[in-house]
Amino acid sequence: MQQASIKNVAPKDAKLAMANIYVAFIALLLGGLAGLLQVLVRSGEFTIPGGIKIGYYQVLTVHGILLGLILTTFFILGFQIAAVSRTAGPLTDKQRNIGWIGFWLMVLGTAMASTMVLLNKATVLYTFYAPLKAHWIFYLGLTLVVVGSWLLCVPQFMKYFQWKKENPGQTSPLLTYMAFVNSLLWVTCSLGVAVSVLFQLLPWSLGLITRVDVLLTRTLFWYFGHALVYFWLLPAYMAWYAIVPKIVGGKIFSDSLARFSFILFLLFSFPVGIHHQLTEPGIDGFWKFVQVTLTFFVIIPSLMTAFSMFATFELRGRELGGKGVLGWFKKLPWGDARFLLPFIGMLAFIPGGAGGIVNASYQMNQLIHNTIWVTGHFHLTVATTVILTFFGVAFFLIPHLTGRVLTPALNKLGIYVGILWAIGMSIMSLSMHVVGLMGAPRRSDYSTYGGAEQAAEWIPYAIAQAVGGTILFVAIIIVTYIVIQLAFFAPKGHEEFPVAEVAPGAEKTPAILENFKFWGVIVAALIIFAYTMPIIDILRNSPLGSTGFTPW
Amino acid sequence: MHLHKYEKWWLVFGCGTLVAFLIILGVGAFHNGTHPNNSKKVINYEKVDEIAPFNNPGVHKVEGKEWDYEVVIVASAFYYDPPEIVVPLGAKVKFTATTKDVIHGFQAAGTNINMMLEPGYISEYIAEMNQAGEYLIVCNEYCGTGHTAMHSMLKVVDENATGIN
């Protein structure tokens, strides 16, 4: 088979992938710094020096945009471009050039949006809920980021179809397939936010229309916003299914199961966004509950993934001579940062996923909605599960792309990052969860709330968050050092891009899993089912729209 | 597609717990009526002060309804009217709230009372005051620079306790 002969990312594709990865890690450092400032300010023990004219909510906006949107999107697209080139073969010049145009559009958009945030013209947080009204350059910048990201998805689509055409009847390489599904998911979900920005927020900020439908923009945002979290998560799953097994020396547990779980994510990522809107008016309780039910379906592929991972680890551990119920566990390569960091990420997904079920649970959501519990939740999922897996990937991917090697010393530093992250995040996320249950709100500056007794009880937890956050920032500095070393200074050589193989004797993957016309119809049907009535309701029941406010 | 035997058990167990959990949520919501704020009432957010009941914010005792008190709240950057809510222990209270400008939150910390207030919509929630105490009401949706200055207090008082008339 063709993919067996490809071992490396083609050099020209490596440049495109690395360009994205550089931006991602710059965003990590700056966004991490913003996170550090936030936890320090919120603890009440520190204020931003008076000479620096930047407010808490500006810092919060920077943190959310740089880490939630910029770091993730750039890293994911860079990783996926590399994974496609590695497993389906080099991109054609045309495909790569489209990718480069996308990259520069994203950079331009990021610069535009960030400038407006730093000028205090767009202190709207990364969710930019209307009727908070940012400068039009901010919305245009975000639009360019999204359009650019689509152009980075295009070469992945083209390469997949090219491969299928050149290898009729064969099963596509697993990583290429997964990158294809995740790109499809991204384009489909970002259409929602594109409609909201292009037809409502951008013309509104330019003064072309005077009023916007607040609930419509929110509903379109969350149609995008929940699928967005799977766009973050699926590249981590790509690494878990197709790369980590090779790192531990094992095989892919089941190729068809891996693909099937990705299809389930594609189906159930979209018709679930209203579970972010459970406590708001204007949406019928029945349709909220329908989307809650659909949300529960998206848990199933994660259950499947958990089983596959531990099956792979146990099979490999026993192959290495692990005995008894847990003897295999000790045989795993704990000293390998490429394994340890994703593994810590997997563990974090157990409480992260459980907390997510609470969040989506209709009336139970009232207890935690917009409390800092939610912040604690997604710092386990995206900021631990996803990001630690990305770090683990970066440790081999960057040297693979730059023609260097991960030295034992850098690997050891990587291990420290994993340990520091686990400690720092346990402290920060646990205190966020606990104080969130007590009612402390998210997205809020330090406050004693007029000397209220309850607010005083929250302060020790904010101090704990500052301690955890500081440890995490130290880890980010170490990661930055490792990345700079791997990109520019580590010894020249060949670092493997590990890609696992299917266990021998595995059954052929069913062709239906690659029939995207079929799955596309089901995706469309689910979206139409879940959203038609709520959207019609919102439009028919629509109050006077909002003219916009800038209360910052 | 082949599934390992243990994986089938695992998925049956996992999906079974999800179904059981959904049934509990569904019975709680549709049989016992524990819905979150699902109000679909609309209002002109620019004329909130002129429209009943928001032209008279505060705590109002009512007769002949399913609830004993109506609490009417008007939120605006960065203030709640009324700034304090006092209701007796054991009362069933309907909270009715809206906003005059951006989106605000309305959450009584340590209770289930938690809803979004969005311009043009009226939010409603009915709760029983079954535990005396002071509950800090906070705005939990970012609304601007003065976001954390926006708070109120829900006081549930035991009228039979000594010292309180």
pLDDT given at position B165: 46
Cα separation, A21 vs A390, whole angstroms: 10
What is d(CA A46, CA A52) in angstroms, rounded to the nearest whole number? 14
Q: How far apart are CA B9 and CA B11, in angstroms?
A: 5
Tell if the CB–CB gap between B38 and A283 is shorter than 8 Å: yes
* Cβ-Cβ contacts under 8 Å, B30 against chain A: 289
- From A549's Cα to the closest Cα of chain B, the distance in A is 7
Q: Is residue A311 less than 8 Å (CB to CB) from chain B?
A: yes
- B-contacting residues in A 145-174 (Cβ below 8 Å): none
A438 chain-B contacts, CB cut-off 8 A:
109-110
pLDDT bracket for residue A506 (50, 70, 90): confident
Pull the structure tokens for residue B138: 């906070």
Alpha-carbon gap, residue A201 to B108, rounded angstroms: 32
Enter the ipTM: 0.94
- Going by pLDDT thresholds of 50, 70 and 90, the confidence category of residue A2 is very low
Tokens 């891996």 locate to A258
Q: Are A283 and B38 spatial neighbours (Cβ–Cβ below 8 Å)?
A: yes
Residues 47-76, chain B, touching A (beta carbon < 8 A): none
Asked if the C-beta of A434 comes within 8 angstroms of chain B's C-beta atoms, the answer is no
Q: What is the CA B54 to chain-centroid distance, rounded?
A: 17
- Note the pLDDT of residue B163: 53
Tokens of A39: 């936890």
User: In terms of C-beta density within 10 A (0-12 exposed, 13-18 middle, 19 or more buried), how is residue B27 classed?
Assistant: exposed
In terms of C-beta density within 10 A (0-12 exposed, 13-18 middle, 19 or more buried), how is residue A55 classed?
Answer: middle
* Mean local confidence (pLDDT), A70-78: 98
Q: Which position has the token pair 């190729």?
A: A255
pLDDT at A430: 98
Helix A516-540 with A255-268: angle, nearest 10 deg: 20
Distance from CA of B47 to the nearest CA of A (A): 11
Q: Where are the domains of chain A?
A: 8-540
Does A295 contact chain B (CB < 8 Å)?
no
A246 burial level (CB within 10 Å; 0-12, 13-18, 19+): middle
pLDDT of residue B160: 80
> Which of A125, A299, A447 lies closest to B142 in CB terms?
A125
Whether the predicted pLDDT of B74 surpasses 90: yes
pLDDT at A1: 40
pLDDT, tens digit, 9 for 90 and up, residues B91-111: 999 999 999 999 999 999 999
How near does any CA of chain B get to the CA of A537, in Å?
9
The predicted-structure confidence for A303-357, as pLDDT tens digits, reads as follows 999 998 999 999 999 999 988 888 999 999 999 999 999 999 999 999 999 999 9
pLDDT tens digits for range B111-152: 999 999 999 999 999 999 999 999 999 999 999 999 999 999
Query: Best mutation site among A363, A432, A538 for testing chain B: the one with the most B CBs within 10 Å?
Result: A363
pLDDT tens-digit series, residues A523-534: 999 999 999 999
And the tokens for A62? 């920077």
Is the pLDDT at A467 greater than 90, yes or no? Answer: yes
pLDDT tens per residue across span A407-429: 999 999 999 999 999 999 999 99
* Of residues B21, B39, B143, nearest to A281 (C-beta): B39
DSSP state of A549: B
Q: How confident is the model at residue A505 (pLDDT cuts 50, 70, 90)?
A: confident
CB contact under 8 A, A438 and B101: no
pLDDT, greater one: A323 or A468: A468
Please state, in angstroms and rounded to a whole number, the distance separating the CA atoms of residues A365 and B19: 18
Which pLDDT value is given to residue A199? Answer: 96
d(CA A224, CA A235) in angstroms, rounded, equals: 17
Our CA angle for A44, A381, A21, nearest 5°, is 95
Question: In the numeric block, which tokens belong to residue A346?
Answer: 């997997």
Distance CA A522, CA A409 (A): 49
- What's the CA gap between A263 and A142, in Å, rounded? 28
The CATH fold of domain A8-540: Cytochrome C Oxidase; Chain A (1.20.210)
- Chain A residues near residue B7 by CB distance under 8 angstroms: 257, 304, 307-308, 311
Q: Is the pLDDT of residue A3 over 60?
A: no
> Quick one: average pLDDT of A89-101?
97
Q: Which residues pair with A371 in a beta bridge?
A: A441
Edge-first strand order for the sheet with B104-108 is B84-88, B151-157, B133-138, B104-108, B114-117
Question: In a mutagenesis test of the A interface, which of B34, B102, B123 is the best target, namely the one with the most A β-carbons within 10 Å?
Answer: B102
Q: Would the pLDDT of A504 be above 90?
A: no
Predicted confidence (pLDDT) at residue A508 exceeds the cutoff of 90:
no
Decide if A310 touches B, using CB distance below 8 A: no
Q: CB–CB of B151 and A278 under 8 A?
A: no
Q: Phi and psi dihedrals of A268, rounded to 5?
A: -105, 10
Check A441 against B140: CB less than 8 A apart.
yes
Shortest distance between the Cα of A5 and any Cα of chain B, in A, equals: 28
Q: How many CB pairs under 8 A join A and B?
A: 223
Q: What is the mean pLDDT of chain A?
A: 95
Query: Would you state the torsion angle of the CA atoms of residues A49, A50, A53, A57, taken in this order, to the nearest 10 degrees?
Result: 60
Assess whether pLDDT exceeds 90 at residue A133.
yes
* Chain A partners within 8 Å of B44 (Cβ): 543-544
Mutation target to probe the B interface, by most B beta carbons within 10 A, among A43, A129, A254, A280 is A280
Q: Find which of B6, B38, B84 to mutate to test the A interface (most A CBs within 10 Å of its CB).
A: B38
Catalytic positions of A are 226, 230, 377-379, 442-443
Question: Where residue A198 falls among pLDDT bands split at 50, 70, 90?
Answer: very high
DSSP 3-state helix, strand, coil percentages of chain A (rounded to 5)?
75, 0, 25
What is this structure's pTM? 0.96
Say yes or no for a CB contact (<8 Å) between B136 and A452. Answer: yes
